Amino acid sequence: MEKIYCCYCSSTDKCLIIKIRIRTFHCYFLTTAGFLSNIKRFVIKTPMPKQPQPNRLILASQSPRRRYLLEQAGLNFEVIPSTVDEDAFATQPPEKYVKTLALAKADQIARQHPACWVIGADTIVLIDGLILGKPDDGDQARHMLRQLSGNVHQVLTGFAVRSINHGHEYAAVVSTRVHFKNLSADEIEWYVQTAEPFDKAGAYAIQGLGTFLVRKLSGSYTNVVGLPVCEVIEHLIQQNVIGLDVKNGMIKQGSD
């Protein structure tokens, strides 16, 4: 039974002023003569109904490019980079490598924040079965750019969505074919000197100065940048993690 307090004496059961009888949903208050004027009010404390909480999204990556893509898509999220050792997965085939690594990143952060929905991702550049990582120095960058020059390569991005409390685990791989123009020695040297290649897989950034290196591509552009936004948003909508606010033209967070 809900407690009813007398604001005059703060009593709940031994009030000399008020005696309470509960019949169904009606309360009858019997007062002692002369004291009614001293009673200011009665406060009935009722438990507040639990309000639905919006889904909390986390990006388990320190990549500024992935962060930018999700911000441009209108998502509200936090960034908590994973610390998964990528070298532990290096012996796997390319598609399995990016998929497994993306899931490992998402899972690590999801276990630290079990109520949240966590997005993990990993991107590689693949040419003739060889994975091109991030160049360590100018010589490696020049070598990679010569390999890509005039050729077609693949960009594979594995992405994963994980939530412990919701029992959800999903991972997929998106592939894009990228056609490079023939690069002259001067073009390669100029691009290396810009320093843009050094923190990029395959030694180029399609969203930066490296955009002039690409003749055409087949598939997702954002996948080459670092995250297949179409596929990620599509999956989040399917799971009711986010929704489309048609009236206001916005993306809204779903709720539990």
* Residue 170 resides in a domain: yes
Residue 85 lies in a domain: yes
Regarding whether 240 and 147 lie in a shared domain, the answer is yes
User: What is the 3 state secondary structure string of 40-103?
Assistant: CCEEECCCCCCCCCECCEEECCCCHHHHHHHHHCCCCCEECCCCCCHHHHCCCCHHHHHHHHHH
Residue 113: inside a domain: yes
Catalytic residue among 122, 139, 186, 245: 122
Whether 94 is covered by a domain: the verdict is yes
Shared domain for 72 and 180, answered yes or no, is yes
| Spatial distance between the Cα atoms of 27 and 48, rounded to a whole number of angstroms | 20
What's the structural domain count of the chain?
2
Decide if 132 is inside a domain.
yes
The answer to whether position 49 is within a domain reads: no
Amino acid at 67: R
Residue 99 belongs to a domain with what CATH number? 3.90.950.10
Q: Write out the residue range of the structural domain in which residue 234 sits.
A: 57-253
pLDDT, tens digit (0-9, with 9 covering 90-100), for 22-70:
444 444 444 444 444 444 444 445 555 555 567 899 999 999 999 999 9
What does the pLDDT look like over 138-166, one tens digit per residue?
A: 999 999 999 999 999 999 999 999 999 99
What is the per-residue pLDDT across 174-228, written as a single tens digit (0 to 9) for each?
Answer: 999 999 999 999 999 999 999 999 989 999 999 999 999 999 999 999 999 999 9
Residue 50 falls inside a structural domain: no
Contact assessment for residue 174 and residue 235, using Cβ atoms and an 8 Å cutoff: no
Question: Does residue 142 belong to any structural domain of this protein?
Answer: yes
* DSSP one-letter string for 128-161: TTEEE---SSHHHHHHHHHHHTTSEEEEEEEEEE
159 with 200: CB under 8 angstroms?
Answer: no
245 catalytic? Reply is no
| Exposure on the CB side of residue 21, measured as CA atoms within 13 A | 5
